[in-house]
A and B are shown apart, each in its own frame.
Chain A
Amino acid sequence: DAGVIQSPRHEVTEMGQEVTLRCKPISGHNSLFWYRQTMMRGLELLIYFNNNVPIDDSGMPEDRFSAKMPNASFSTLKIQPSEPRDSAVYFCASGPQGAYGTDTQYFGPGTRLTVL
């Protein structure tokens, strides 16, 4: 079992550049979550999908952020244009049907983003 796969693991970019983070959920999981972790704000849910459909994107900070899930095995989180305050660790998590109920979420290793 490969677990949740995220790429890249580290990303350093300059302000104004487009950044794309990628996630492959665990096979068979129907729910996918994007989180952001910072020292100041802790762990924040940005968006979650169920069966590839965005259910709640109220945590997406602003229009510069967008997320897609074109199929059950792939999701992207894009930041355009990036800003230094976007520097954080971004986690993707997946879960079985009902992961937004009683089931467990399984986290990927995260992408550490640094925007200079």
Chain B
Amino acid sequence: AQSVAQPEDQVNVAEGNPLTVKCTYSVSGNPYLFWYVQYPNRGLQFLLKYITGDNLVKGSYGFEAEFNKSQTSFHLKKPSALVSDSALYFCAVRGSGNTGKLIFGQGTTLQVKP
């Protein structure tokens, strides 16, 4: 069965510091991995995805994520955090052999303090 775990409910970081939001997954077959961001009272917005190819994926707003097959991880990163990055971040996974559900993690709240 497909699953995705975001081990941290909240991540706190100072503005200007690097940030990491963690995600690990379990799927059969090759994974398709996604990161979405949700601002208060808004729908989810797509940030980036990994389908195949280079393990380092670059996305919107300066975010990037690194696919690590051996560790089954897809951590979201940004070199320098902004206060405006404060939001709820979701990792999601779908197995390549599956048609259908995109499984979302529980979400990680990122709090960037000035």
Contact = CB atoms under 8 A, between A and B. Distances in A.
Interface of A: 4, 42-43, 45, 48, 55-56, 59, 91, 93, 100-102, 104-110
A102 B51 CA distance: 7
Contacts of B42: 109-110
Interface in B89-109: 90, 94, 99-102, 104-107
A110 B104 CA distance: 17
Contacts, number: 50
A42 B38 CA distance: 12
Contacts of A4: 43
29 contacts: A4-B43, A42-B105, A42-B106, A42-B107, A43-B44, A43-B90, A43-B104, A43-B107, A45-B101, A45-B102, A55-B100, A56-B100, A91-B43, A93-B43, A93-B44, A100-B94, A100-B101, A101-B32, A101-B99, A102-B32, A102-B49, A104-B34, A104-B46, A105-B102, A106-B46, A107-B43, A107-B45, A110-B41, A110-B43
